[in-house]
Structure 1
Amino acid sequence: MNPIIQVLLMALVGALIGGMTNTIAIKMLFRPYEAKYIFGKRLPFTPGVIPLRRDEASTKLGEIITGHLLTPEVFENKLRSPETDRLIMHFIDRQIETIETERLTPSYFLERLSAGLTDKIVDSFNDEIRTKVTEEGQKLYVRTIDDIMPDDALNAVDYKVSNLAYDINEKIIQYISSDKGFGDIYTMVDEFTENRGRLARSLKYVMTKESLTERVQSELLKLIRQEKMIDIETRVIEDEYGKLKESALSELVTDSDLDNILNSIIEVMQQKIDIREILNTPIIDFNREMFDRFKEKGKYTLKDNFIEYSGKNMSKIMNKLQLAEVIKKQIDSFEVSKLEELVMDVANKEFKMIMMLGYVLGGIVGTAQGILVLFF
């Protein structure tokens, strides 16, 4: 055989072997997609390298990305950048403008979070009022008056009771000394003299009814003005007052009355604290002056606090997001054919260069072998 043809033939064979080897190696990165079996035994090199190591590769890739690329420091630096600052400020301005022009209410945002959330909050708030009022009412129901009343109010009542006998006596004296009192005493004297037998009737022949009435009136006034009478009244009043203070509310109020009282309190509180009306009130109407101050200065404080808080807690936020796990799941969700297509689109030129390099190196090796054969 012609030496030149022999060298060229060996160079061609070497180039084909080198090129085809690299081509097959590149294909075997992905193919076959699934393991192949003969007689129940898996064939070597099936599935391809990437499908075989897919779980391990996705785990490592997620760790690399979150450990070296998307680190908390990267997010924190981006968060504190002027571009992000302007973006957040623009977002806040847009939201303030929308709230003001469209007169948005708290209920609007609640319904955006979850349909029917406003009704749930209203019902929950009213139920809480009913529960708390009922619980406190039941607690008060078994407590004594002395325990229920505030100290200031109790001291005020104690003072009033201590002087009550003098006040009552004064009222009685005013009544007895009045024309009305005199008339009532005259009526009682008249009934006494007419209905108490002969001895009583004989009094009208000795004294006139008017003089007898005046005598009775005078004696009553003397009796009432006596200090001993006031002491007796004071003792009786204080004894009854002490018993009243030591009485439980349940002794004075029936269960039915308690229910009516509690229901009235609940109804008044629900009317006074109309949570539905509050939630349906435009945000700007709660306090216009405060809203304007927020537009001028407060929004900057909100932005700074958000950036500061997010920056300090970025590590915790990323741990909560579990980005490595998210990346792994996304990669695992790709079909191998789709993954191959993505990789080939990105590195198609490089893979072609590797295949061409295989042909070139194979050709060089084949040529070298041909020349060596000629000489040896």
Structure 2
Amino acid sequence: MQLWLFITVNVCVAAFVGALTNHFAIKMLFHPRRALYILGRRVPFTPGLIPKRKDEIAAALGHVVADYLVTADGIREWLRGGAMQEAAAAKIRSWLLARAEEGLTAERVILKFTDRESWEAMRTKWAARGAGLAERWIERLWEEGGWKAKTIAELVPGWSEETAAGWAEDLSDWLTASLREELLSIRGQRTLRNMIDGLLDRTGGWIGVLAGIFVDEDKAAAKLTEVLVEQLESGALREMMRTFIAKKLAEAGDWTLEQAAARLSGEENPLPWLKEQALRLLRLEERIGELEKANVGELLIRHESVWGEALRTIVGAAFDLLDRRLETVVAAFELPQLVQKQVEKFPVEQVERIILSLSGREFRAITWLGALLGGIIGLIQSVFLQLVR
């Protein structure tokens, strides 16, 4: 065989063997995916390296991530950056403003997470729980708190003879002013005319006939209004009303709450009546419905400067709290176990596609490098054989 042909064949064969060896070495990282058996004995190097040691790789990756990549110190450094807090506050603020411009209401938010029928049932349930809580609270104050034995003077803040006298004077002024306003109103004048008509109708005999002929109801009502207003503005009537109210307030101050409630309700045991009045005042289900319809978006837009500053404070406080509890939070995530489980679930085929997409060029370079090295070895071998021949 001619020398050049001998060297060419050796170089080509050696290059082919080198390339093929490297190619199969790379393939054997992932293939075969399962162990192969011949006559009941497992074929060596099956399955491939990565499928065979997938569990060990998963555990090692978990510890690498937890010990070197996602650490409490790294996260703390990231959180302490002011830019991160500002970005978080700006993100929340922009989201709230976007929802506000859409017409944000509690109802819209709630119905994104549940249907109307479920929400109405939940609202009724919450109102019932609130009513039960209010009733238990009233019972506790009534019995254990001893409110039923406390006097009105003890329960009302600032109660004294001087304050009661001041309240009496204010009430008498308010009553006289209200009565005067009512008398001078159209409704008050109509009431006076009706009273005069009733009196004339009930007057019998010839006096009643004469009164019906000669008495003008409008003039009589005007004259009566003048007299009544004059009496209301007189100091004597106002003093009489003030004295009366002060006397009643002094008496009421000595009543126990149980006595006062019994007088108002007409019941010997006024506790059920008090519960009923409290629930009627609270109107829990109705108030929940009102809150549900409230236009929160309009309030957010109107008071943006107020809640925007509060939002930054809240975000800062949240970051500080997370900073103080960071080790506990990171430990609670159990990162090594979490990463290990996720890697174990990851298909080997997907791992192969990812690695080849990232390192396919390098793997091809390794294959060609094997061919180059094989060719060089074939050339050296050919030269060596020729020299020793």
For 1:36, the aligned partner's letter is L
Counterparts of residues 198-213 of structure 1 (less than 5 Å):
none
C-alpha displacement of 1:57: 1.4
Partner of residue 347 from structure 2, selected from 303, 320, 335:
335
Maintained 8 Å contact 1:107/1:118: no
| Structure 1: segments with no counterpart, 5+ residues | 157-240, 246-251
After alignment, is 315-324 or 40-49 more displaced? 315-324
Supply the distance in 1 between the matched residues of 2:4 and 2:293 (Cα, whole angstroms): 96
- What is residue 131 of structure 1 aligned with on the other side? 132
Supply the distance in 1 between the matched residues of 2:82 and 2:292 (Cα, whole angstroms): 36
C-alpha displacement of 1:50: 0.9
- What is residue 192 of structure 1 aligned with on the other side? none
Partner of residue 293 from structure 2, selected from 280, 284, 300:
280
- What is residue 210 of structure 1 aligned with on the other side? none
Supply the distance in 2 between the matched residues of 1:272 and 1:336 (Cα, whole angstroms): 57
C-alpha displacement of 1:147: 7.3
- What is residue 98 of structure 2 aligned with on the other side? 98
Q: Give 3-state SS (helix, strand or coil) of 1:129's partner.
A: helix
Maintained 8 Å contact 2:32/2:46: yes
For 1:298, the aligned partner's letter is A
Supply the distance in 1 between the matched residues of 2:285 and 2:46 (Cα, whole angstroms): 75
Maintained 8 Å contact 2:97/2:300: no
C-alpha displacement of 1:33: 1.6
Q: Give 3-state SS (helix, strand or coil) of 1:29's partner.
A: coil
C-alpha displacement of 1:354: 1.0
Supply the distance in 1 between the matched residues of 2:98 and 2:363 (Cα, whole angstroms): 53
Deviations 1:17-36 (A, max 9, x none): 22211111111111112222
Counterparts of residues 1-376 of structure 1 (less than 5 Å):
1-81=1-81, 84-85=84-85, 87-98=87-98, 100-115=100-115, 119=120, 122-136=123-137, 148-150=148-150, 153=153, 262-270=275-283, 274-283=287-296, 292-295=305-308, 297-376=309-388
C-alpha displacement of 1:87: 3.2
Relative to structure 1, is the Cα distance of residues 107 and 326 closer, same or farther in structure 2, using a 3 angstrom cutoff?
Answer: farther
Maintained 8 Å contact 1:125/1:275: no
Deviations 1:225-263 (A, max 9, x none): xxxxxxxxxxxxxxxx9xx99xxxxxx9789x8656544
Supply the distance in 2 between the matched residues of 1:276 and 1:262 (Cα, whole angstroms): 22
C-alpha displacement of 1:131: 2.2
How much is the aligned-residue C-alpha RMSD, in angstroms? 4.3
For 2:347, the aligned partner's letter is E
- Runs of 4+ aligned residues of structure 1 deviating over 6 Å after TM superposition are 140-144, 252-255, 284-290
Relative to structure 1, is the Cα distance of residues 326 and 97 closer, same or farther in structure 2, using a 3 angstrom cutoff?
Answer: same
Relative to structure 1, is the Cα distance of residues 320 and 106 closer, same or farther in structure 2, using a 3 angstrom cutoff?
Answer: farther
C-alpha displacement of 1:317: 4.1
Supply the distance in 1 between the matched residues of 2:18 and 2:140 (Cα, whole angstroms): 93
- What is residue 213 of structure 1 aligned with on the other side? none
Supply the distance in 2 between the matched residues of 1:312 and 1:267 (Cα, whole angstroms): 46
How many residue pairs get matched? 284
C-alpha displacement of 1:124: 4.2
Deviations 1:323-368 (A, max 9, x none): 5445444433443223212211211111111111211222222333
C-alpha displacement of 1:290: 6.2
Relative to structure 1, is the Cα distance of residues 277 and 309 closer, same or farther in structure 2, using a 3 angstrom cutoff?
Answer: same
Maintained 8 Å contact 2:88/2:315: yes
Rg larger for: 1
Maintained 8 Å contact 2:19/2:371: yes
Supply the distance in 2 between the matched residues of 1:258 and 1:41 (Cα, whole angstroms): 87
Supply the distance in 1 between the matched residues of 2:290 and 2:303 (Cα, whole angstroms): 20
Maintained 8 Å contact 2:11/2:379: yes
Deviations 1:1-22 (A, max 9, x none): 5555444433333222222111
Supply the distance in 2 between the matched residues of 1:298 and 1:284 (Cα, whole angstroms): 17
Maintained 8 Å contact 1:11/1:365: yes
Maintained 8 Å contact 1:129/1:270: no
| Structure 2: segments with no counterpart, 5+ residues | 157-254, 260-265
Supply the distance in 2 between the matched residues of 1:99 and 1:2 (Cα, whole angstroms): 86
Maintained 8 Å contact 1:284/1:291: no
Supply the distance in 2 between the matched residues of 1:309 and 1:262 (Cα, whole angstroms): 42
Supply the distance in 2 between the matched residues of 1:83 and 1:288 (Cα, whole angstroms): 25
Q: Please give the TM-score of this superposition, normalised by the length of structure 1.
A: 0.59
Relative to structure 1, is the Cα distance of residues 20 and 154 closer, same or farther in structure 2, using a 3 angstrom cutoff?
Answer: closer
For 2:279, the aligned partner's letter is I
C-alpha displacement of 1:62: 3.3
Percent identity, please. 22
C-alpha displacement of 1:122: 3.1
